[in-house]
Amino acid sequence: MKAYALTVFEKDGTKLLDESFEAADDKEAKEIGETKLRDKGYLEHTHRCVAPNGHLVLFHR
């Protein structure tokens, strides 16, 4: 399992969510990230999910 970071921002740059979670691969991380965003009502906010090596798995501006 790998650790991924999920961050959500307000338009002014304020962090609304900053948490990490584990997933087996990028595909699973994308699914978990989208579910977390949907459940917390942040799907339309600016967000990113970053893999352990630094590349983006999810991004919405």
**pLDDT number for residue 11:** 92
Query: What average pLDDT does the chain have?
Result: 97
**pLDDT number for residue 55:** 97
Q: State the Cα–Cα distance between residues 22 and 60, nearest whole angstrom.
A: 21
What is the β-pairing status of strands 56-60 and 2-9? unpaired
CA R_g for the chain:
11
Mean pLDDT, rounded, for 27-47 = 97
pLDDT-based confidence at residue 4 (cuts at 50, 70, 90): very high
**pLDDT number for residue 57:** 97
pLDDT digits (tens, 9 = 90+) for 13-34: 999 999 999 999 999 999 999 9
